[in-house]
Structure 1
Amino acid sequence: MPRALVRISTFLTLAVLLFSTWSFAKPRPAAALDPFTGYLMAHFIGESARGEQIYLAHSKDGRNWTDLNSGGPVLLSTVGTQGVRDPALVRSPAGDRYWIIATDLRIASGTSWSDAANRGSKSLVVWESRDLVNWSVPRLINVAGGISGAGDAWAPEAIYNPATGDYVIYWATNSALNGVTKHRVWYVRTSDFRTVTAPQLYIDRGTGQGVIDTQIIEVPSSLGGYRYYRASADGQITVEGSNTILGTWTRIGDLQRLGISNGATGGNVVEGPMWAQTNGTNEWHLWLDQYATGRGYMPVRSTNLGSTQNFATRTDYSLGTNRKRHGSILNLTGAEESRVLGKWGSSATVKRIQSYNQQTRYVRHSNFDVRIDASVSPVQDSQFRVVPGLANSSGYVSFESVNYPGYYLRHYDYDGVLAANDGSTTFAADATFKQVAGLADGSWSSFQSYNYPTRYLRHYNYLLRVDPISTATERGDATFRITN
């Protein structure tokens, strides 16, 4: 991509950007009254090199989980600390818009917990989607900047508030208040997950007790006496009820009798409470992250959230291969479930790109450079999703990495690289190619650059480039086959 670019009008720039961001599909919205058929869990897996990113798992019964995307991350953060924890899935009431919000934190980078809590990010990472499978580039929203002495912004959640017609985002911030420094839960309101109101204090347990993790679930039938229930990790796992999200909450109880706490009374020490209603029933599970023992999530069952006396642990569940850390669960409609499994399920199609004149070699990324190699290990480095072109979805394609989701094959100064989609029109154009009949063999394919149509993808000394093609050797170098 030469530095000198053709100027595009403001109107066209905005049009292309919006088109490239949202043109993949116009699915039928998951209307609020559609029956739910499955479950989607968003989570992170720990402090490994790529553990603090967005992972997904699927379940048909709400208890037994299968990792999606072959166990790899489905979204990578390229903003802030370039790591995320504690993701929350949010659906609009009409089912036509979705968001993932997450803590902007990457302990694996060498950050200490003290630095993270006292000098950490005051922003949250946000992704947005219209179909639950094609996501925007990540962005930051500063939620805690208005809190005096704020040290961080952790464990975000969000819920639609019909009383105000917008969303309440709530999270924990470590700061001093009334001479006491600790984590308290704060909230802001938003209608678009871009602009927010000034932060307001939401949960403060008093004395020296901090609270970080809390999650609210809506029970429209008000079974148990309340429309909303929340579970908070505040030394115990405290369950409360209310009929308004921003009104007064009544303490219902905790899980001490089950030998479960958040550390105040020992036993099985857990965090990250995560609610889910069993589809079509008056049964709920409160999933708890057994972080102290490293065993991951466990479910606690209830058929009436208005009393903790009926809460009971259960053992008939499985979590798949990945360790599930603090996340959230979304009940899926049939349309949503079909899209999610179609992209990331076991039957989802991923492709490899085989060289025509070096047929033991396949296009792969290595240290974010793109080349052709034989015996690629791990094989995921040579696997791509062939998606509609980011700059033009009609007759053009783009190649998204399977194990680096959100990263695409693009050219930069005519060199082939793997790079994160920054949402710009320049990136979209550099990552878009027209699939045409193979220049060396019409039964194969060649890939013409979208913004430099006299140039094609080819390998040279095994490195991928976009070049003009004239000789027989160059035609062979520029010919490939997309294969499973």
Structure 2
Amino acid sequence: MSARTPAGPPPSRRRFLGMAATVPLASATALSLGAAPAEAATYAAYVMAYFTESPDMLAANYGLHLAVSTDGLEWTPLHQNAPVATPTAGSLGLRDPFVLRKQDGTFVVLATDLNGTDWSYVSQYIHVWDSTDLRTFTGYRRLKLHDLNTHAWAPESYWDAGRGQYGVIYSAVDASGHNVIMVNYTSDFVTAGSPQVFFDPGYDVIDGDLAVGVNGVNYLYFKKNSTLVGARSTSLDPGSFTEFSTAVSHGGTEAPTLVKSLASATYYLWGDTWDPNGVFYAWQTGDLSAGTWTALDQKRYTQPLNSKHCGIQPITATEYANLVAQWGTPAWNRLKSYNYPGRYVRHSDFAGRIDAYAFDPYPDSQWTLVPGLADSTGVSFQSVNYPTRYLRHYDYALRLDVNDGTSTFAQDATFHRTAGLADSTWASFRSHNYPTRYIRHSDYALRIDPVSTATDQQDATFHVGY
């Protein structure tokens, strides 16, 4: 059977974080992420696992990608956003990767066995890797979860202290004929016990995500009719969860993940749009037991470029530094609009503008920030996909032109980065040869203008990230 929910998108996956950095991870949060309790006070950063897709599938890559963050909000792709591992059996590709820190402090990576978007492909297996540090991946294998004529989608794992085993939950079609969340128990991720129905409310549910041991309650969030809904139980027993929350969505939304802030009692609920656009949205609550949510401002978070349905694991400062040293950070940046945070600076037909993420060709939004062509204390924006071209102003409009080597071009293509005019933690860019003018957007087109009003200041403020 197909993984599709009737009249809806295919199942896929989860896991993105939103939280403050460098604050010790609370023990309840560590348990909810399956972390080893002895290490809970040492976490200072996060690692994300994901695959990539884009609207026209130019970014489609079904290997294991990694990104890191010191705050769980702004993410830095590693290895130039290329995969760090790729399956060598089954479909030869993955979706929906999930990272778990096991009780011994090492990691296991799980993922759906599917290379691409052939939803008729059926695999009773999931991909598995072991890793001591997420810099090397060993023991690759596929783990069989059942003998049913159905998929094993969106695997996630947690430590069940009462059983002394790990539970592996995933989406599948059972004898009822609709998608349910199943569970198998394992001690080693090499063999697994018989499948059981973990959660079946009587209608299609996929993409289960657990927060374990929050004030004595366990929370399961899942996709229902393209919305995110929660259930809860005081035990981890299959069949014990009861739906309780209000639904949230932003269009067709799936792949929920629950994360507690490190700095407060706030919880974040993340979801992903089901189509190849793969835009993450987030909601927050000060009381997980209330089951009600408010949207989180997109200014506060930036997902890795083209990332889809992620898995997140807290890591130590040393692990963070080692991952950056091993894989490196991108040689390019993206610029996000302050007052339209769903839009990014790009070139289109060689005109500079801000467009809604996600789009193809996605390299149109990637820039190498080099020393200013006219003044090395400034900056010039070199196109990644047209490296002989730079963003410059001409009749005050910004466009992407070939560097002709003239002093006029160098000056037109040089800008001086300042504290953001609308937010000093962001950035603004002042023209080198028209120093009273700043890069700003107007009707989504980029130009240089004098800045006077509050709206002007917002139009001229950008976040430099990835």
How far is the alpha carbon of 1:49 from its aligned partner? 7.5
1:103 is aligned to 112
How far is the alpha carbon of 1:196 from its aligned partner? 0.6
Contact 1:301-1:314 at 8 Å conserved across structures: no
1:184 is aligned to 180
1:255 is aligned to 247
* 199, 210, 214: which one aligns with 2:208: 214
How far is the alpha carbon of 1:229 from its aligned partner? 1.4
1:80-108: per-residue Cα shift (whole Å, max 9, x none)?
1000001111111342x210100000126
Distance 2:134 2:237 in 1: 28
Distance 2:69 2:168 in 1: 26
**Which runs of structure 2 are paired with 1:341-360 in the superposition (5 Å)?**
341-346=324-329
2:224 is aligned to 234
Of structures 1 and 2, the larger Rg is shown by 1
Distance 1:94 1:282 in 2: 28
1:53-90: per-residue Cα shift (whole Å, max 9, x none)?
11111111111111111111111111110000011111
Distance 1:320 1:234 in 2: 24
Amino acid at match of 1:287: W
Distance 1:35 1:313 in 2: 27
Instruction: Give the direction of change, closer, same or farther, for the CA distance of 1:155–1:295 in structure 2 (3 Å limit).
Output: closer
Contact 1:39-1:59 at 8 Å conserved across structures: yes
Distance 2:247 2:297 in 1: 14
Identity, in percent, stands at 25
1:128 counterpart SS class: strand
Instruction: Give the direction of change, closer, same or farther, for the CA distance of 1:134–1:54 in structure 2 (3 Å limit).
Output: same
**Which runs of structure 2 are paired with 1:108-127 in the superposition (5 Å)?**
112-113=118-119, 115-116=120-121, 120-127=122-129
Instruction: Give the direction of change, closer, same or farther, for the CA distance of 1:327–1:320 in structure 2 (3 Å limit).
Output: closer
Instruction: Give the direction of change, closer, same or farther, for the CA distance of 1:103–1:77 in structure 2 (3 Å limit).
Output: same
Distance 2:293 2:91 in 1: 42
How far is the alpha carbon of 1:321 from its aligned partner? 5.0
Q: Does 1:144 find its partner at 2:154?
A: no
Distance 1:187 1:323 in 2: 30
Structure 2: unaligned runs, 5 residues or longer: 1-35, 332-466
How far is the alpha carbon of 1:347 from its aligned partner? 9.1
Distance 1:295 1:319 in 2: 12
1:152-196: per-residue Cα shift (whole Å, max 9, x none)?
111111001111111000111134x24xx2221111000100011
Amino acid at match of 2:166: Y
Distance 2:262 2:319 in 1: 14
1:245 is aligned to 236
2:316 is aligned to 333
Between Structure 1 and Structure 2, how many residues are aligned? 291
2:262 is aligned to 279
**Which runs of structure 2 are paired with 1:405-444 in the superposition (5 Å)?**
none
**Which runs of structure 2 are paired with 1:301-312 in the superposition (5 Å)?**
301-312=284-295
1:53 counterpart SS class: strand
TM-score (norm 1): 0.56
Distance 1:296 1:136 in 2: 31
Q: What's the RMSD between the two structures over aligned residues?
A: 2.4
Instruction: Give the direction of change, closer, same or farther, for the CA distance of 1:216–1:320 in structure 2 (3 Å limit).
Output: closer
Contact 1:161-1:167 at 8 Å conserved across structures: yes
Distance 2:212 2:324 in 1: 26
Distance 1:233 1:320 in 2: 20
2:335 is aligned to none
Amino acid at match of 1:44: F
1:184 counterpart SS class: strand
2:438 is aligned to none
Distance 1:84 1:294 in 2: 18
Instruction: Give the direction of change, closer, same or farther, for the CA distance of 1:251–1:232 in structure 2 (3 Å limit).
Output: same
1:326-384: per-residue Cα shift (whole Å, max 9, x none)?
12111122232222222123299xxxxxxxxxxxxxxxxxxxxxxxxxxxxxxxxxxxx
